[in-house]
A and B are shown apart, each in its own frame.
Chain A
């Protein structure tokens, strides 16, 4: 089977306009998480990581469509491919897209997808993967499968999310938000922060570079918004990808780590069940907040950059372990000489996903 590899990438976030800028900001311990009062007309204050709308909005496009387009454009440029080729396709990952305009516009994800394809004169239908918070990971897996399907040479996977009254009030109604910067896996964790970002990856075939080895999505079949108490789906997804790598090969598992009581506990159980207690675990939501449809792509790119630099990134917001299993959460920057990692995510609707990445040139 041919190897599916990453040949271009981009990140747009409050911390920077390139993967490098973002990676360096993360290494410096920065975060754009801040408290907003009255933002979007929302009564209760909330903590979020948000982009500068004015700076990023392109003429004739919504803020959301602008960052989708820009992320795609920069990744395409980095990869030097032809986005209009019939052998190239786009996959878009987002949960709510342009929802802030629900009263005034066509806010279907399908409309955003069409505009993305049109902007690049691409003849193929743009697939939107909307699989709750694992969408970005699921979109990467989908891109890999589309390539292995045989009729494409490149897939451009774009993950993006912007915040709005709709989303913020929703999470507030679920009492899921923390009023402070979030604390993944920490004993004092009390909820998540929301975030905005766009990130894109161009996938193609190759021999070297970062390979998307394989991935799986598994459902807990338990509850539509509460994670499985036994980490069922997360464990099964991990078990699937571990067919291709021994735990000792992994530099780290980059987890979902939303900082809710239940999610982080569930992931710890899944990691333990999968035999990964000796593998470093880190989370990036203490830096970027929960970027929803962008998370899977954003967090994977930064994880690749970390392994390239021989680094295990710290879990910002974490200080004392607050889950029932002794997972090795990285509190501070660490080093590694390993060349593979697992990206793990979970989402509403009982979905869980795991993706195995390996840097080419490493022994199998």
Chain B
């Protein structure tokens, strides 16, 4: 799971153009949205939906579903581990 979490952090940094960030900068359980976390917005949710499909073959139906899955990197990793098709 450690490896998956690290992998997800790297893909996140790349997909969302999080300049200069490293996986060490992202707390596993920190909220991704809202002011406390990485401050991601609605377009970022959509890019993360694409990220899940492109890398793990998981299709989310809507940004609303996305908001639940993308609460933190740890939540994302659990979801990916349980649902990945590639």
Contact = CB atoms under 8 A, between A and B. Distances in A.
A223 interface: yes
B46 interface: yes
A173 interface: yes
| Size bin of chain A's contact surface | under 10
Interface string B28-51: 000000000000011100100110
Contacts, number: 13
B62 interface: yes
A226 B42 contact: yes
A35 interface: no
Contact of A223 (B41, B46, B62, B63): B41
B41 A175 contact: no
Interface residues of B, number: 8
Interface of A: 173-175, 223, 225-226
Contacts of B63: 175
B41 A173 contact: no
Interface in B28-86: 41-43, 46, 49-50, 62-63
Contacts of A223: 41
Given A174-B43, A175-B46, 5 more contacts: A173-B46, A175-B63, A223-B41, A225-B42, A226-B42
**Nearest 7 pairs between A and B by C-beta?**
A226-B42, A175-B63, A174-B46, A225-B43, A175-B62, A175-B46, A173-B46
A173 B50 contact: yes
Nearest to A190: B62
